[in-house]
Every structure is written in structure tokens, then in C-alpha cells.
Amino acid sequence: MKVSHTWLQTYFDKPIPAPETLAKLFTFHSFEVEGLENDVLDVKILPDRAHYCLSHRGVAEEISVLTKLPLRKDAIKNKNSASANVPVSIDRRPIVTIEDSHFCRRFTGRFVENIDTISPCQSTIAALLIAIGQRSISPIVDITNFVMFDIGQPTHAFDADKIVGDIVIRAAKAGEKITLLDGKEYTLTVDDHVIADSAGALDIAGVKGGKRAEVTIATRSVLLTSANFNPSAVRRTSTRLNLRNEASKRFENEITPELALEGMRQLSSLLEQVSTDAVSSSTILRFGPIVDEYPIKAVQTIITINPSYISERLGVLVPEKTIEDILKRLGIDLKKNSGQKETAMLIKSGELWSLTIPFYRLDLAIPEDIVEEIGRIYGYEHVIGKLPDVSVSRKTVPTVFYYTEKIKNVLTGAGFSEVYLYTLAPKGDIEVAHPLASDKAAVRTNLATGLSTCLEMNVKNAEILGLEAVKIFEIGKVFTKSGSSHKETIILALAAAQVKKIKGMADAGKLFIDEALKKVASVLGFELSVKSLLSSGSRAVCEIELDRKIDDVAEFSHADLNFLYESAISYKPFSLYPFIVRDIAIFVPEASVGVTTVTATANATVAASDVWAEIEKGIIDADALAILVRHSLFDTFKKDDKVSYAFRLIFQSMNRTLTDAEVNVVMKKIYARMAARGWHVR
């Protein structure tokens, strides 16, 4: 939620800290700050603090608690606040019936006449709304929105002259239709609730107002309403109709019904201020009396707690005086030694405190909530870590976990690398109810499909990986239908391919897998039965159901647990751009070796490195060393007194696609170096 520093300042006489300082305070004591622009802070209010912090008043209270600066306005703490009551000058009053007090906990309403006399110029309120990213619509709508962002109470104004008869808050009828302010028609169910008159629904309660009694430029009198609705019911309706908005958000997070009257009073006094701002300096608006239907009054929560429990759970000794001071700043009334005998059983010994929680702090219900309040306000930095006593040591490891980890070790030993692929797939037995993307419409029924694709991709990159064979495996779950439910199975899948053709190894992939599984069997002491094996030429993919086999054998020594794993890895980003391969073979006279060492037994590697040094010079000439990512000597042969060295060069850039033309330039520079030495390029 966006909060304005200027707006927050209206709650204080003394200047509040700068936005940056507030952001820091909030981060360590209240909630995350997701953005800070000019004097507007974007604070992340999670559901626990949403009862009171989806409002400037709530955030101002946090500031007061954290900085000890007193609030200028009364913040309804434990009683109804005394927002100045506007003088009542007409007798017109709405007749309101609440059919279900479980749904509508409170409903306040009043008529206001002469509304068309308000000048549309409402600079202060409109400016504050615009600052927090809202639109300015009309003086009345702006004021209702202002009240919501100011104290967290959604309010609504109806065109009073378009209301027919009395007001009733009732469940919608099946199939009942209403056109809302957005101009769209919605069909309701009996689970929804409406504010209605004798002509039908005027408003979907807690969600959005209807078109029929919309306040327009021609509106002469309004019915102001400020109410409280059941959070779950509002959430169900707003979710089903896809009508989540600022008002429904506050209701579904639950606000205290105590706030409804406060909202009505603030709404009235703001309207009055607007109308007295006119030249005549007297009120032109005529207010009717407030009708307040409040069937079941909210009860303040009382939490009984032993102050030492707070320090115990935080793991740091917070002085009692500090706790008392924080509670006071939170508006929590403290009575000492007033806890009842029954609740005393919860607490080991000592003093009991009875805490009366402000109405709006619906998040505070149990002693642990108080532990959190004291902890965050006192500051978690005071908590000093200590290791828990090692009182327990049941070193149990699930059999399947033990064996899967063991198998991973054997397979990597056999040259197979581990991959993790996606569980979500375009198709499968078990489908996602509302997929966001077509490739995430179901969960996989096998690993082989994904692993085959993965194998092909890695085969394409074999050169740059410097691999002659690609060998990969995944251990993961697959999901199939099983009667009216589903089955989750752990699968080991292996895939292998020989990249460089080798004579007599046409089925190399299958041979690799067989070899690896033999090793697995010898280490595990039992054979894994292959469920499926697909072998085609040099490629093979196979699947094994792990849990079935392991559940049958299942015996291992806990002494054998070897999870300690030392690693000193440094990861380097790799290029996602295509690479270019060039081979170069050079005939050099064997004598050339003798330039420095002069022995007939000069071995080939010396000469090879000599040749490589010269090639490298050519690459440096072309200023291309940065794009040479790999090279290898892949062939050597002698013919008469000459030796041929064949090198493979792989070029790739981190940030662009290389062209053949630019690699050709590099090769030319290399050829030039070769020519200068009198070497022959084949």
C-alpha cells in the first residue's frame, strides 16, 4: 500500500522522520518497504497487520510506537474517538434492516442534502489521493476514498433520490442481477450479499456500488453509508466475480465494526469542511441524524500473559519496564495480577498480566502475538543465537532418500551428470485446474520424455562441453491416475549418447546405461529392474521405478550415512549464443622441432605445443582470444618426415552471435602466422 509522508505528518504535531528513516524503521520493526519515491512509501502490508495498517492512521500509529512521537489525533484506541460531530439540521433518516447479523456486523447511514452546492474544487484531498496513485473523481467520491485510505474504513455514497423505500442488507437471490458502477451486469448467487431497497439491489455489499443510485453531477442529496461485513463472505463474492478492489480488500482482511461509526463521522465532517470552505463561510449542507444498526457489539480481546514468558520465548531478557512501555505505546491496557486461575495453568509461575487489546488490533489474540509485538518493537537484533542442546538424536533417514542419494553418487562416479527438469508438462493424467500457461497444464507421467529432449540439447553442445559422450540422469516423481485418486512414483531415468561415432559401438547409449546400472547394482547389493528402455542407434533412455524396488529391499546401516559433502566450486556464466567450430591441420617438418632441442627423439607434444603457440599468436593478431572458448588437438599423424597436427577451435561470444565472416578473419591471421613459419596448412 502506498502511504504519503505528507499525509502521515497530519497525524503529528512534531515533524516525523524523513521517508528514508521511516523506511528503515518499518523494515526492522513493522513490515517491508517495497518502494520509496518522493515522499510516498510503498509498504507491504501482510494479512496480520492488514486489520489496521491498510490506512494512514495505522501506519501513523506504527510511527508513534516506534519513534515515541505522540499522535495528534485520537486514534480510537480503546474507545470511540470524538471526531467532531456535525450539527444535524434535518430529520430525514434511513430505515435500515440487517437480515443476517453474521454477515453485516454494523451498518451506519445518514442523509445529506444540498450536495449539489459543493464546488468541485477539492485540491488538498484530491492531491493526497493522486500522490498515492489514486484518481480524483468528484468531491464526494474523493472524500469517501480519502476516508478509506485515511482510517481504513470503506464508505459509500448513494444518490438518495434514486433510492426507493427502505434499506435492507440481505443475501442475494439466486440469479439476481445488478449493474455496477463499471457499467457491467453481474449475476449473483445466494452466497452473495447486497444492500438493497424495495426496487432491488443497490450495491454488492463490501464489494462495489451499483449504477442505479450512482452519485452524479446532478445529485442533490446523498445517503452516506459506512458498514462492516463478514470478511470470508466478502472474499468469496469478490473472488468469484473477479471484483477485488481497495474496499473488498479491507473487508476481507477484516476490520473492527467499531471503525464504521468513526468512518461515518469523518465522512460527515470532511463534507462539512468542504462546504464551509465556500465564500459565505457557513454550512450549506444539511445533515440528517446517523442511523447506527449494530446488532452484536464487538468485544475487546483480553490476553493473559506472564511477562517472563515474553523474554523466555524471545530468548533475550527484556526489562519489564521496557515491556510495559511498549504495551502502553501500542494502546494496550495493562492490569497486573488480574489473570484468572484457569489461565494460570498455562504459565509456569509468577506474575500474570491482563492485557486489553485495542479494537482495531484484530491480529492480537494469543500470548505469542504479544511476544512478537514486544520482540519486533524492542528489536530482534537483541536476540543472541545459541545452539539448542543436543537432547535428541534420532538419526532416521527415509530408506528411499538414502538409496536415491546413494544411487546419485554411483551414477556420477560412472560419468553421468544429474539434471533436474520440470514437473509441470503440457499433458498428463493429473491436470492443473486453471493453468496459466499451456506448457504447465498437467504434471508429468514420465521422466524419459524430458530427458530425451535434454539429451539432444546437450549432444548439440558436446563440442563446447568437450564431451565425446553425453550421459545424464534425473531422479524425480511422476504422477499417474489410480482409481479415484493418484499415484506418486519416484523414477530414476538415465539417458546417454555417443557423440563421436566409434566403430563397433553402434548401441553405445545402451552400453553406457547397462554399465552404469551394473555399478549401481554392485554398490546397492540388488538389481534395479528397468521399466522401459528406448535405444536408437547411439542414443538410449531408460526408466526405473525406484520406490517399488527399494521398499522391497530396504536395509541399510545408519553408520553409513555420508551426507558430508565438501565442495569448492566457482560458477562461471556460460554463453547462450551459438558457437562456431573450425578445424585446422598443419604439416610441419619434424626437423622444425629441432630448432631448439635438436634431438631425433623429439616427441610430438613439444612440436604440437609449438604449433599451438603459433596459432595462438594468430588469434591474438586478430584480437580474438576472448572468443576462443575451447581448443583441442584432435589428430596427429606422421607421413615421411612430416607431422600433421589437427586442432579444433571453438569460438563463442558471451554477448552476441558470431558471424562466419569474423571467424574467417581470425583464421586468415592464423594462416598468415603459419605461412611466416613456412608451415603448410592442409
The Cα 72–Cα 550 span in angstroms is 69
Q: Which is nearer to another protein, 113 or 363 (CB)?
A: 363
Q: Which is nearer to another protein, 71 or 633 (CB)?
A: 633
Q: Which residues contact 391 (CB under 8 A, 6 or more apart)?
A: none
Q: Which of 194, 608, 627, 670 binds another protein (CB under 8 A)?
A: 608
CB atoms within 10 A of CB 533: 16
User: Restricting to residues 473-492, which ones interact with another protein according to CB under 8 A?
Assistant: 473-474, 476-477, 479, 481, 484-486, 488
Q: Which residues of 300-338 are buried (b: 16+ CB within 10 A; e: fewer)?
A: ebebbbbbbbbbeebebebeeeebeebbebbbbbeeeee
User: Contact between 103 and another protein (CB under 8 A)?
Assistant: no
Q: Which is nearer to another protein, 199 or 523 (CB)?
A: 523
CB of 191 to another protein, least distance (A): 10
Q: Which is nearer to another protein, 155 or 230 (CB)?
A: 230
Distance from the Cα of residue 603 to its chain's centroid: 62
Q: Which of 334, 633, 650, 665 binds another protein (CB under 8 A)?
A: 633
The Cα 403–Cα 358 span in angstroms is 55
User: Contact between 513 and another protein (CB under 8 A)?
Assistant: no
On whether the CB atoms of residues 438 and 426 are closer than 8 A, the answer is yes
Q: Which is nearer to another protein, 7 or 103 (CB)?
A: 103
DSSP strands (E only) in 499-610: 530-536, 539-545, 580-589
On whether the CB atoms of residues 320 and 305 are closer than 8 A, the answer is no
The Cα 422–Cα 21 span in angstroms is 43
Q: Which of 118, 172, 411, 607 binds another protein (CB under 8 A)?
A: 411
On whether the CB atoms of residues 585 and 599 are closer than 8 A, the answer is no
User: Restricting to residues 380-409, which ones interact with another protein according to CB under 8 A?
Assistant: 380-381, 383-388, 390-398, 400-401, 405, 408-409
Distance from the Cα of residue 104 to its chain's centroid: 33
Q: Which is nearer to another protein, 28 or 637 (CB)?
A: 28
CB of 318 to another protein, least distance (A): 12
User: Contact between 73 and another protein (CB under 8 A)?
Assistant: no
Q: Which is nearer to another protein, 317 or 676 (CB)?
A: 317
User: Contact between 559 and another protein (CB under 8 A)?
Assistant: no
Strands 167-171, 96-98: pairing kind: parallel
User: Contact between 48 and another protein (CB under 8 A)?
Assistant: yes
Q: Which is nearer to another protein, 314 or 533 (CB)?
A: 314
> Burial of 109 by CB count in 10 Å (0-12 exposed, 13-18 middle, 19+ buried)?
buried
Q: Fill in the DSSP letter of residue 207.
A: T
CB of 422 to another protein, least distance (A): 6
CB of 208 to another protein, least distance (A): 18
User: Contact between 67 and another protein (CB under 8 A)?
Assistant: no
User: Contact between 58 and another protein (CB under 8 A)?
Assistant: no
User: Contact between 175 and another protein (CB under 8 A)?
Assistant: no
On whether the CB atoms of residues 24 and 71 are closer than 8 A, the answer is no
> Burial of 186 by CB count in 10 Å (0-12 exposed, 13-18 middle, 19+ buried)?
buried
Binding region for another protein (CB under 8 A) out of 67-75, 196-204, 415-423, 500-508 = 415-423
Binding region for another protein (CB under 8 A) out of 97-105, 120-128, 175-183, 568-576 = 568-576
On whether the CB atoms of residues 203 and 195 are closer than 8 A, the answer is yes
On whether the CB atoms of residues 588 and 679 are closer than 8 A, the answer is yes
Q: Which of 415, 505, 590, 614 binds another protein (CB under 8 A)?
A: 415
User: Restricting to residues 423-462, which ones interact with another protein according to CB under 8 A?
Assistant: 423-424, 430-434, 436, 440, 443, 450-451, 453-454, 457-458, 461
User: Contact between 614 and another protein (CB under 8 A)?
Assistant: no
Q: Which is nearer to another protein, 437 or 661 (CB)?
A: 437
Q: Which of 242, 279, 571, 598 binds another protein (CB under 8 A)?
A: 571
Q: Which of 2, 92, 173, 313 binds another protein (CB under 8 A)?
A: 313
User: Restricting to residues 323-362, which ones interact with another protein according to CB under 8 A?
Assistant: 345-346
CB of 167 to another protein, least distance (A): 26
Q: SS3 of 24, please?
A: helix
Residues facing 680 on adjacent strands: 587
Tell me phi and psi for residue 203, to 5 degrees. -170, 140
On whether the CB atoms of residues 488 and 480 are closer than 8 A, the answer is no
Tell me phi and psi for residue 632, to 5 degrees. -155, 155
Residues facing 177 on adjacent strands: 187
User: Contact between 32 and another protein (CB under 8 A)?
Assistant: yes
Residue 122 C-alpha cell reads as 477539492
CB of 10 to another protein, least distance (A): 26
User: Contact between 28 and another protein (CB under 8 A)?
Assistant: yes
Q: Which is nearer to another protein, 244 or 638 (CB)?
A: 244
User: Contact between 299 and another protein (CB under 8 A)?
Assistant: no
User: Contact between 603 and another protein (CB under 8 A)?
Assistant: no
CB of 228 to another protein, least distance (A): 16
Q: Which of 4, 226, 253, 498 binds another protein (CB under 8 A)?
A: 253
CB of 432 to another protein, least distance (A): 5
On whether the CB atoms of residues 234 and 246 are closer than 8 A, the answer is no
- Read off the amino acid at residue 398: P
> Burial of 344 by CB count in 10 Å (0-12 exposed, 13-18 middle, 19+ buried)?
middle
User: Contact between 308 and another protein (CB under 8 A)?
Assistant: no
Q: Which of 19, 49, 58, 520 binds another protein (CB under 8 A)?
A: 49
Binding region for another protein (CB under 8 A) out of 90-98, 289-297, 631-639, 663-671 = 631-639
The Cα 575–Cα 585 span in angstroms is 27
Q: Which of 525, 565, 596, 678 binds another protein (CB under 8 A)?
A: 565
User: Contact between 50 and another protein (CB under 8 A)?
Assistant: yes
Q: Which of 18, 20, 21, 27 binds another protein (CB under 8 A)?
A: 27
On whether the CB atoms of residues 58 and 9 are closer than 8 A, the answer is no
Compute the C-alpha angle 277/262/360, nearest 5°. Answer: 140
On whether the CB atoms of residues 493 and 545 are closer than 8 A, the answer is no
Q: Which is nearer to another protein, 232 or 300 (CB)?
A: 232
Pick the closest to residue 298 from 262, 347, 342, 337 (CA basis): 262
User: Contact between 568 and another protein (CB under 8 A)?
Assistant: no
List C-alpha distances in Å: 571 to 189, 466, 568, 574.
57, 17, 10, 9
User: Contact between 604 and another protein (CB under 8 A)?
Assistant: no
Contacts with another protein by CB under 8 A: the residue count is 119
